[in-house]
Structure 1
Amino acid sequence: MLKSNLTQRFLLVIFAIIAAIIAAFYLYSVPLIKSKVFEIERNANHIALNNVFELAAKMHSSSQEYREQVLESHRQRLRAVVDSTAFFFSRQYELARKTGMNEEQARHYIFQQLRTLTYGEGDYVWIVDESFTLVSHPDPAYQGRSTYELVDENGQLIIPPVIDAALADGEGFYKYRWSRLNEKQKQEKFSYVKYFPEWHFVIGAGVYIDDVEAEVAARREAALTELRDAFAGIKIADTGYLFIFDSSGRMLVHPNRNIDGSIFHTLKNPVTGNTIMQDLISVADTGKELYYKWDRPTDPGNYSYEKVSLVRYLPGFDWYIGSTIYLEELQASSEVLADRILVIATIALLAASLLAFVFVNMVTRPIRKLSETAVRISAGELDATTQIRRDDEIGVLAGAFDRMVDRLRQNIALLDDKVNERTLELDQRNQQLRQAMDEISAASRNLKLLEERQRLILDALPAQIAYVDNQQRYVFVNEGYASAFGLAKSEVIGRHLSEIVGPKMYEDIRPQVEKALNGTSSTFEYPLEIEGERRITKRTLMPFDPEPGRVLGLINLSLDITAEREGERRLQAAQRMHTVGQIAGGLSHDFNNLLSILQGNLLAIQDNPATPKELLRHIEPAIRATRRGADITQRLLAFARRQPLSPSRIDLNALMGDCLALIESSLPSNIIQTLVMDEELWQPLADPGQLEDALVNLAFNARAAMPKGGELRIHISNRSVSQTLLLDEQVALGDYVEITVCDTGCGFSQEGMERAFEPFFTTRKVENSSGLGLSMVYGFVKQSNGYIALSNNTDGGACITILLPADRQLTEVRDLADSENGSSTERGLILLLDDEDDLREVVRNQLSGLGYQVIESREPKEACELIDTLPELNGLVSDIVMPGDLNGFDVARQMRRQHPKSAVVLISGFASRHDERPSDCRPLPLLRKPFSREQLGKALQSGEARTPLIQEQER
């Protein structure tokens, strides 16, 4: 009984001790473990939210960069649209003027075409002139209206401030409000406006800000899609998740498809009574967690389950990024661990009680040691052991207790490893996700910039560029190459070379293509028909062999060298004409001297009463022949630009009246003559007689080109040249009078176009055609510092365009010689100066026949000595070109100084520079060889000095 009582009492004590040990272990260890596990799960939630927030922030930064790229892309496109419009206007304006349109008609025609030009999302080009009038706009309601009539909703002017800025700056980007086509609501618009002073208007092209924002919004939606995909790979505990909503209460990203995209701003938080959206926004970026109650997917409608949420706010996107998890899930791991510990402790308590009942006498000391170990373990020393080594049940109990503690320690370590492994895995996945997003964003941005830059550069180059693979199929072409064949780039890529260039061109260039594909570059010229014009292209085919010995394809580089070849042809023609002119001028000088001798002697024979009548019958044809020869030399001098001219300001109204009467009398009745003269014409600076001869020659050429009748049209207008213009050569900038003579005949042949200005070249099949008509016109125009060009009308017939320098100041010039009435010269002593003996004899006989006494000299120095020593001299007849240092001008000045009232006449058959007479010799009459006795007499009468010449030394 005593033993039983002791056993029972001892067992009770042992049981109480073991129970106390387990309770102490539980109270001291389990709360600490639960707290640590809860903190680890919460930190994992924080890490996931922060990583997603950083990812979204980078997406926002990428979105901002994309918005700037979109704006820059639109800026470049607007510049390209305005520059293309200006180029289109320039080309169309030249073509319109060539077809006969005047400036106003050409501008109106081009503005009508530009009204239909659109690009982008229905965007268009508009043009405003310097008077602030819309001269080109696709909306008929605005076409032709003054921009001062157009105001915004507040009554403020819209366009004039933009035009003022463009006129001041030259070009720029501006914002204003404007409605879309066929809409009334005004929207914000971003436009590029450029001023073209040469055309006196500005060109504008714009894009609506809504269109730009739409592109950015699409980018933002793509970011949401990427985040939604990223959220699918992120897991918080078992059922925790991430979500995104904006300040309007729209759920942007949510794993529940029923909630994703919905409006949830009316849902209440059962804990606070506020809306759940307000509570979530209130804790954003505070670092605090929101505690609330919500339902479960397995128990919908029962808002009794506790949840906690963290929220971060991204201002750029106006996004609230949150994480949410059920509170019990955060505590689940610690609860599981506590339950396991409790089960183990219960099992240990039962085992100890059973063993104590059998071995009560053997457990006193081991139990004390065991209790000490338990105390150490309860204090957190999990490495402590009983160190009991016995072969009885006490030893087994001690070993079981040690194993229990070791297993507990292993479980705790295993749990820590799993938590750390899970945290590390989550960090790695987040890091990989961030790195992948950064690489994708950077690659996409760089690729887009590279492609856009390459496309703009290659399309802007004034060359045809293409890449063809070794199968002769197109891989790449620029805009210039595709447009040369009248195709879009998409229509060329992938097709065979022969399909694009055509069979003939392919056969012509095939050897060069095969040569390039074999690894050797080749350069050659080839003509193309581009936009109805024959163009000469210089084409270079280069093999593309990145690896030696392996040609993957060829690169084609083609340049338009039409202008270069045309310039070379014009230079050769100009050099040839200059050479011919020098030869013609030299021949004319000697020929005129010979004709003067022949004509003078023939006239002397004709005037001699002793000449037999039978001889007179043969002399008259000879005289006519000398006069015809003189006319030919005059035309040669005109071609050589060495004819003596008397340039003055020409009254075109008076001149054209006389000229038309002369032309009309020479034209048949089946040719209609039309004259169109602009109002307030400027006065050209030229020789009026030579201009009249030129117009008559052109009329005769037109008559020959219209044997069956037609129309001869003469158009005279003012023209200011302020930019590059090419006729027979490049026209100098300045003011001109433009004379255009057109007919409806057969036009110029190719040979005629190239050789029309050559002397003695003619297409007429008549015996009396000298071929000097157009060459004389050419020489007169070039000697007058003008320009000339030949062309054929598209509807048949030829056109000759002449530009003569003009003076806008309509001042009258009065010849000093006309200020007084002429008086006849008293018969007296005349000094005759000429180095040709035979010619001097002929002129001496003419002077003697006129009743003058003649003293001769063949050298200028001798003539000057005679002038100084003979006070009775009454006149001087002198050739201009003389051997030695002095010429006829010098002798004429000496004559006027010594004999101010004497008559002075200058004669010449060739004057290298006398068509540019010194100003003090311009009043003197100039007599061209050959001349008759009557012409010499009139010249002497008009050569009397009415006002003394201005002395060079006194000026």
Structure 2
Amino acid sequence: MQRFFVTLLIIISMIFITVYFYSVPVIKKKVFEIERNSSAIALNSVFSLANKMYADTKKYRSQALESHKKRLRTVVDLADSFFDSAVAEARRNGLSEKQARQVAFEQLRSFKYGDNDYIWIADQHGILLSHPDPRYQGKDTATLHSQEGDSEVRAVIDLALRQGEGFYQYKWNRLDSEKPLDKVSFVKNFPDKGFVIGSGVYLDDLDADIEQIRNEALIELREGIRDIKIASTGYLFVFDASTNMLIHPNSNIAGKNFLKLTNPVTGNSIAEDLIQVADTGKELYYKWDRPDDPGNYSYEKLSLVRYLPGFDWYICSSVYVDELRSSAELLTERIITIAVIALFVALLLMLLFSQWITQPIKRLADTAVRVSEGELSAKSGIRRDDEVGLLAYTFDTMVERLRDSIKNLDSKVEQRTHALAEKNQQLIIASESMASAKEALAQSEQRQRQILDALPAQIAYLDTCLNILFVNRVFAETYHQDKASMINKPLQQAIGETCFNHIQWQLQSALRGQQTAGEYTEPLQQRQVICKRTLIPCFNPDNKVNGILILTFDITSEKDAERQLNEAQRMNAVGQMAGGLAHDFNNLLTIILGNLHSVGDRYSGDDQLQRYLEPAIRATRRGADITSRLLSFSRRQPLSPTLINIGQMLKDSLELLSSSLPDNITIRINNTPSELQPFADPGRLEDALVNLVFNARDAMPEGGEISFTTQSIAVQHRLIMDELVTPGNYCEICISDTGTGFSDQALQQCFEPFFTSKSNGAGSGLGLSMVYGFVKQSKGYISIQNAAHRGATITLLLPAKAAREERLNDHPGAQENTLKQEGKLVCLVEDDPDVRSVVRQQLIDLGFDVIDTHSAEEARRLIPLLPELHALVSDVMLPGNLNGIELADWLHQQHNRCRIILISGYSYQQSGDKPINPAFLLLSKPFGIAELKKAFHDSEKRYAGLD
């Protein structure tokens, strides 16, 4: 019995040992490996996501920088176009070239775009002509130094002057800051204008966008790994190369630098140990405290580390070793517990073995063998109420618990696998979010293509083999193709052999890294257009040419406008000279005519003297007529614009001219009635029409036809005559003849004063000059063209307004007052002493008492001392700060019953933009005593209310 008992004990012990060593080590190993693999899987998934985020961020930065460069190039070209438009507008407003350029520079100072980016302009000596920052406006860039002592802006300007244009990086502060920042600028030289234009973008704006994307990626990553758990309390964390903890579930460590935290195992910094094992595939073993036992660094931990170079991050997994072993340990404890119970039962069985347990034990042994073979569903089948039954029940329970433990373990593994699947799904969602951002970037690129298609320029991009990689809509339409069919097609095949040969030299220069530009003329829609083609080489990071950009602009309108502007400037300069001469000549004629009249009146009984005076007076009148024409050309003649019934005027003019034209010349009038009528001086317009008819008569010595055609037009689109026409309503008057037309020289110089194509000194050369000056002074336009077969057509474009009836206030019963000027006091203001002497004598001869002065300031001090002042006779143009019109306005406010007569050698409009008061009377030089007397008579009528 004892022997059998020992044998039975040995057998039971062997069964226990077999079960333990056969199942427990395997289960512990498998569970431990599953937990470790879950840590590696989670770490690799997060690393892949972060790596993809970096790749998308890097691609965005490259694309964003290229987008900024394209925008800078467009901004500089727009600034150049705006400068030309602003200068042209200022010149039309009467400013000089220098003043017009200054106006354009001032307007460009306020030009802003993007994130407070701006335009700056410097001349070829480095002087800043336009800069929004008052600290630099007008400064020499050679005096502007960086913190290192370099004059970087001057160096950029010198590079642009040598290379024509380019992108340059240097340091410069913002408008509202003193801190220099990295800046990329596009600078382009405009040698024909004598300056360079630059505009830039601060790289910190671009880096800020990248940093924002990086922070967003960090937030998404933090959200993605926040709930990831390894074992029970294991987790993932991220730190950068500076050992700043970016992501950590422990708020005491997150966001802080943990370089000084040491590894109790090695004595080194835990951060340095983690960096050492990054991407080695090895786990870092160290000891750390637990949340439930802080400060006790005796608990074993394992960490895997992956390094992400793009973000300079270290992504780590961390898990306690005892947690990896916890499931296996739990299973081991249960097995040991079951074994202890089994041993206890075996002892009881051995005590009862001698009686009736042999058979049940055998059944139990058989069952144990089946269990050892892996059949965990096996049961002993013993149902007894005694100890053998209890032993059998205990054994069956042990097997069942073992089976339940394995099932429980499988369930936990399945739950952990499910949790990992959910985290993977979250990572997939994050990946889809990055894909959405990528799609948004693609949409941004599409908008840029649309912008390039909308630009009024031909744009194409070639590779170094001269194959087309990109074209915009205008380029494709120019060559009657669609954009898709031109992609990857050789340039020679796309544009044709002829055009390709024309730009061959530019292509070769661009392949050598040289930017070239050239102008050419080509037919388009039955007209010749002037184009400017620029070829710009593009470089890779190794400074080798990897592409060519072709930009072609239609500059026909700009060339026409430039030609018209030069012509208008030349005529304006001649007009100013002629007006100045006419003004001085009028003063001389006033002196001569006044003295001739005085001599004639004083020696009226001397017939022989009168015979000499009369030709001199006629010559003086002839000189006055010539100066009147000069004033008309220089736009300084006095005008009285009003609405004109053009049909009636043409009819009256025809009656006037009928006796002056030979019988072999006929006049035809084609007037289109309209509510709009020309607004101009009717007398001057009639003089202009008469001059044009006489010129047409001289061009038709053998007879012919002169036709007048009138109509009202509304100018809404671009129209060029002698200059660009301002949009508005106009009356068009066309005078055509069937004569010899104009020669090429006459077409170029016809408006110049004293130019005449007549031989033998016939003609004064002032006819067309007078017409030109009258039209321009009336704010109109004029053009001359030869007919296709014979003759010429002169077109006048005068401002038009809606017609309205004007009723005149007639006073048939009124009687003219007899002038009573004996002893009345008149103040005479004239700066020319000889003119002042002549007019003073004329006033004295009319019976006035005269007090004279040479300036408006002196007259203003003198007039308050003259309470009995009857009239003021003043020249319009006077030296000093006060002119004649301003003096008259002041006197009219002080003493509104004082008669005021203004005298002028040319139009009062030259003294200012303020219109003359209707109460004042304007007398043009030269004049005699009769004209002066009539002026006083008309002044009396105005004050008496007869007008």
Residue 82 of structure 1: how far off its partner (Å):
2.5
Correspondence 1:435 to 2:423 = no
Structure 2 residue corresponding to 1:266, chosen from 260, 270, 284 = 260
The 8 Å contact of residues 243 and 322 in structure 1, kept in 2 or not, is answered as yes
Rg (Cα) greater in structure: 1
Name the amino acid aligned to 1:236. Answer: I
Correspondence for 1:772: 690
CA RMSD of aligned residues (A): 5.1
Q: C-alpha distance in 2, partners of 1:254/1:168?
A: 56
Correspondence 1:191 to 2:185 = yes
Residue 438 of structure 1: how far off its partner (Å):
2.1
Name the amino acid aligned to 1:254. Answer: H
Q: Identity percentage over the alignment?
A: 43
Cα distance change of structure 1 residues 283 and 657 upon mapping to structure 2, 3 Å threshold: closer
Q: TM-score, normalised by structure 1?
A: 0.50
Q: C-alpha distance in 1, partners of 2:392/2:431?
A: 59
Q: Could you report, residue by residue, the CA deviation over 1:88-140 in whole angstroms, capped at 9, with x for unpaired residues? A: 32332221111111111111122122223333444321112344432112334
Cα distance change of structure 1 residues 699 and 197 upon mapping to structure 2, 3 Å threshold: farther
Structure 2 residue corresponding to 1:123, chosen from 117, 122, 126 = 117
Q: C-alpha distance in 1, partners of 2:114/2:230?
A: 47
SS in 2 for 1:187: strand
The 8 Å contact of residues 289 and 310 in structure 1, kept in 2 or not, is answered as yes
Cα distance change of structure 1 residues 116 and 747 upon mapping to structure 2, 3 Å threshold: farther
The 8 Å contact of residues 697 and 774 in structure 1, kept in 2 or not, is answered as no
SS in 2 for 1:771: helix
SS in 1 for 2:94: coil
Q: C-alpha distance in 1, partners of 2:645/2:80?
A: 36
SS in 1 for 2:682: coil
Name the amino acid aligned to 1:382. Answer: G
Alignment of 1:832-843 (within 5 A): none
Correspondence for 2:136: 142
SS in 2 for 1:788: coil
Name the amino acid aligned to 1:450. Answer: Q
Q: C-alpha distance in 2, partners of 1:259/1:777?
A: 99
The 8 Å contact of residues 243 and 254 in structure 1, kept in 2 or not, is answered as yes
Correspondence for 2:105: 111
The 8 Å contact of residues 126 and 136 in structure 1, kept in 2 or not, is answered as yes
The 8 Å contact of residues 239 and 247 in structure 2, kept in 1 or not, is answered as yes
Residue 669 of structure 1: how far off its partner (Å):
7.1
Residue 266 of structure 1: how far off its partner (Å):
0.8
SS in 1 for 2:689: coil
Correspondence for 2:374: 382
393-402 or 205-214: bigger deviation: 393-402
The 8 Å contact of residues 99 and 793 in structure 1, kept in 2 or not, is answered as no
Cα distance change of structure 1 residues 169 and 449 upon mapping to structure 2, 3 Å threshold: farther
Q: C-alpha distance in 2, partners of 1:187/1:654?
A: 53
Correspondence 1:25 to 2:19 = yes
Correspondence for 1:865: none
Correspondence for 1:315: 309
Correspondence for 2:347: 353
Residue 65 of structure 1: how far off its partner (Å):
2.4
Residue 300 of structure 1: how far off its partner (Å):
1.7
Correspondence for 2:412: 418
Cα distance change of structure 1 residues 277 and 376 upon mapping to structure 2, 3 Å threshold: same
The 8 Å contact of residues 134 and 145 in structure 1, kept in 2 or not, is answered as yes
Residue 160 of structure 1: how far off its partner (Å):
4.7
Residue 159 of structure 1: how far off its partner (Å):
3.3
Structure 1 residue corresponding to 2:281, chosen from 282, 287, 290 = 287
Name the amino acid aligned to 1:173. Answer: F
Residue 21 of structure 1: how far off its partner (Å):
2.0
Q: C-alpha distance in 2, partners of 1:410/1:774?
A: 121
The 8 Å contact of residues 49 and 322 in structure 1, kept in 2 or not, is answered as yes
Cα distance change of structure 1 residues 114 and 335 upon mapping to structure 2, 3 Å threshold: same
Q: C-alpha distance in 2, partners of 1:462/1:776?
A: 50
Residue 189 of structure 1: how far off its partner (Å):
0.8
Q: C-alpha distance in 1, partners of 2:453/2:626?
A: 45
Residue 179 of structure 1: how far off its partner (Å):
3.0
Structure 2 residue corresponding to 1:788, chosen from 715, 722, 739 = 722
Q: C-alpha distance in 2, partners of 1:328/1:658?
A: 108
Residue 409 of structure 1: how far off its partner (Å):
4.0
Alignment of 1:212-223 (within 5 A): 212-223=206-217
Name the amino acid aligned to 1:338. Answer: T
Q: Could you report, residue by residue, the CA deviation over 1:704-732 in whole angstroms, capped at 9, with x for unpaired residues? A: xxxxxxxx783xxxxxxxxxxxxxxxxxx
SS in 2 for 1:239: coil
Residue 272 of structure 1: how far off its partner (Å):
0.9
Alignment of 1:705-854 (within 5 A): 714=634, 741=635, 745=639, 764=682, 769=687, 771-773=689-691, 788=722
The 8 Å contact of residues 123 and 195 in structure 2, kept in 1 or not, is answered as yes
Correspondence for 1:408: 402
Q: C-alpha distance in 2, partners of 1:803/1:666?
A: 34
Correspondence 1:45 to 2:39 = yes
Residue 419 of structure 1: how far off its partner (Å):
1.1
Cα distance change of structure 1 residues 142 and 787 upon mapping to structure 2, 3 Å threshold: same
Cα distance change of structure 1 residues 328 and 446 upon mapping to structure 2, 3 Å threshold: same
Alignment of 1:615-634 (within 5 A): none
Residue 307 of structure 1: how far off its partner (Å):
1.4
Correspondence 1:333 to 2:251 = no
The 8 Å contact of residues 586 and 624 in structure 2, kept in 1 or not, is answered as no
Q: C-alpha distance in 2, partners of 1:349/1:255?
A: 47
Q: C-alpha distance in 1, partners of 2:194/2:694?
A: 39
Cα distance change of structure 1 residues 914 and 307 upon mapping to structure 2, 3 Å threshold: closer
Q: Could you report, residue by residue, the CA deviation over 1:341-369 in whole angstroms, capped at 9, with x for unpaired residues? A: 12222223333333443343444466467
Cα distance change of structure 1 residues 913 and 443 upon mapping to structure 2, 3 Å threshold: closer
Q: C-alpha distance in 2, partners of 1:667/1:793?
A: 42
The 8 Å contact of residues 371 and 378 in structure 2, kept in 1 or not, is answered as no
Q: C-alpha distance in 1, partners of 2:17/2:685?
A: 143
Residue 660 of structure 1: how far off its partner (Å):
4.2
The 8 Å contact of residues 586 and 627 in structure 2, kept in 1 or not, is answered as no
Q: C-alpha distance in 2, partners of 1:95/1:191?
A: 29
The 8 Å contact of residues 748 and 791 in structure 1, kept in 2 or not, is answered as no
Q: C-alpha distance in 1, partners of 2:155/2:698?
A: 52
Name the amino acid aligned to 1:194. Answer: K
The 8 Å contact of residues 10 and 360 in structure 1, kept in 2 or not, is answered as no
Residue 44 of structure 1: how far off its partner (Å):
0.6
Structure 2 residue corresponding to 1:174, chosen from 162, 168, 178 = 168
Q: TM-score, normalised by structure 2?
A: 0.50
282-291 or 446-455: bigger deviation: 446-455
Name the amino acid aligned to 1:429. Answer: E
The 8 Å contact of residues 697 and 773 in structure 1, kept in 2 or not, is answered as no
SS in 2 for 1:236: coil
Alignment of 1:427-826 (within 5 A): 427-447=420-440, 449-450=442-443, 453-454=446-447, 457=450, 660=581, 664-665=585-586, 700=628, 714=634, 741=635, 745=639, 764=682, 769=687, 771-773=689-691, 788=722
Residue 416 of structure 1: how far off its partner (Å):
3.0
Cα distance change of structure 1 residues 276 and 657 upon mapping to structure 2, 3 Å threshold: closer
Q: C-alpha distance in 2, partners of 1:803/1:140?
A: 50
The 8 Å contact of residues 367 and 379 in structure 2, kept in 1 or not, is answered as no
Cα distance change of structure 1 residues 659 and 285 upon mapping to structure 2, 3 Å threshold: closer
The 8 Å contact of residues 51 and 430 in structure 1, kept in 2 or not, is answered as no
Residue 415 of structure 1: how far off its partner (Å):
1.6
Q: C-alpha distance in 1, partners of 2:207/2:35?
A: 41
Q: C-alpha distance in 2, partners of 1:338/1:202?
A: 84
Correspondence for 1:253: 247
Residue 269 of structure 1: how far off its partner (Å):
1.2
Q: Which runs of 5+ in 1 are unaligned?
A: 1-5, 464-562, 568-648, 671-694, 704-711, 715-740, 795-801, 808-814, 819-909, 916-955
Cα distance change of structure 1 residues 803 and 40 upon mapping to structure 2, 3 Å threshold: farther
Name the amino acid aligned to 1:316. Answer: G
Correspondence for 2:199: 205
The 8 Å contact of residues 288 and 301 in structure 2, kept in 1 or not, is answered as yes
The 8 Å contact of residues 748 and 792 in structure 1, kept in 2 or not, is answered as no
Correspondence for 1:58: 52
Cα distance change of structure 1 residues 275 and 99 upon mapping to structure 2, 3 Å threshold: same
Name the amino acid aligned to 1:434. Answer: L
